[in-house]
Amino acid sequence: MEKLAAVVLSLPFGMIFSLTGILINIIQAACFLIIWPLSKNTYRRIVGAVTEIFFLVMIFLVNWLAGLEVHLHTDLETYESIGKENALVMPNHICDADVLMMWVLAERFNCLRGARMVMKKSSKYLPIYGWANWFNGAVFLDRNWAKDEGKLKSSFQELKDFPGSFWLTIFVEGTRMTPGKLLAAQEFAVSKGLPAPKNVLIPRTKGFVSAVQYMRPFVSAVYDVTVAVPKGHPIPSVKRFLKRQPSVVHFHIKRYATKGLPESDEGVAQWCKDRFVVKDAMLEEFRANDTFEGKEIRDFRIPPKKSLIVH
């Protein structure tokens, strides 16, 4: 009975998602065939505006149907910079809904149109969702450095003349957290004489290093995002959202200027690893206190230009 109720509740959203998504894919494909050969930036502006509608449909599911409760913890300098500059976003990967939650965060700061993701290649072939992201300039990886290195470099360079500011989110752990993957990460850390993590996986730094080194001239900052769920609350998931079950999530964001990062590849890699050691300690403290240290911004919605679906 519960499964039937979940299906019935998700049907209206499924219809909206499918009809809107198919229409958006058709518009994106037409723009790719007609406008892209004439003007890359005109294509980006039009497709960005169209894709934003698709993202807003997804955010409608998370915000209104499922009632996601979001808390933000950051300092004033970071808060005043978010959404006003090009940035790399480096969150921990806790669940299958992380992409959706990063879109929610981007929408709150009125920079959803510039939100880009580094995603696994298999996502590209998913109708509607994968195609929408491909047309919109997402970066898809094989998770094989020999194949991905050149692809990443060309994708990063494509963003150099991006019209407007953008976020590029990289899940440097490479996969979402599960008990089995955490155990494997702990065993690997012990074998290498590294600190054994309790709440994160060990980052795979090659892609992050490439992003920093190639985009440092036109990307102002790295946003180190730590995502946490309070005790007694379930981990968010796409399934929970579809079943209209509420979730609570806390974001801690710290801005680091790219000009302040180490110059060498090895230095950037070690900086990333060090940040995940700190992130792990922060999450351990969050588990004890159900909050992050520092200021919580209770109302952090930047007035959006348009969002009739969400509001």
- As given in the structure block, the two tokens for residue 186 are 């702990």
Residue 254 sits at φ, ψ, to 5 deg, of -130, 125
Residues 101, 102, 108, 113: what is their CA dihedral angle, to the nearest 10 degrees? -130
Q: What is the pLDDT of residue 14?
A: 73
The burial of 294, by beta-carbon neighbours within 10 Å (0-12 exposed, 13-18 middle, 19 or more buried), is given as exposed
The residues pairing with 255 across neighbouring beta strands, listed in sequence order, are 223
Q: In what order do the strands lie in the sheet with 115-120?
A: 139-141, 115-120, 167-169, 87-91, 221-228, 248-257, 69-74, 296-297
- Conformation bin of residue 262: beta by default, left when phi > 0, alpha when psi is -120 to 50: beta
Q: What is the pLDDT of residue 5?
A: 46
Give the separation between CA 225 and CA 96, rounded to whole angstroms: 16
Q: What is the pLDDT of residue 49?
A: 95
Q: What are the residue ranges in the chain where pLDDT is below 70?
A: 1-11, 294, 298-311
